[in-house]
Amino acid sequence: MGVGLSYFFCRYVGVEGYAYSESTAHAFVDNVGGDLLLRLPIGNSGVAPYIFGGAARQIDPLYQWTFDGGAGVEWRFAPHVGIFVDARYVFADKTENYGLGRVGVKFGF
């Protein structure tokens, strides 16, 4: 489970910070990171495909830096509520590289 916070400087460019935990058996937070987001809203449809890239620090089960890049799409079905799905490829410095998918809900303020 995870949580993230995004801020868009303009309609097309933003940043995102996130943290998540796969298991709280050791550390409460397993990974923290951030991404630069570039999105392209499609008119007034509420749909916005996006690409992103950034870095993170894995804390548990081992300490390592990771770098990622990916793409996704967000659909805002109400002015301040939407859903998203995205996929990323993660380049890790101590373990094998891997892919990761996310699905979630976004609340805009």
Domains of the chain, each with CATH number or no CATH: 2-107 (2.40.160.20)
Q: What's the farthest any 2 CA atoms get from each other in the chain? A: 46
Average pLDDT over residues 2-21: 94
pLDDT band at 104; cut points 50, 70, 90 = very high
16 pLDDT more than 90 = yes
33 pLDDT more than 90 = yes
Query: What is the structure's pLDDT at 84?
Result: 97
Rg (CA), the chain: 15
Query: What is the structure's pLDDT at 1?
Result: 84
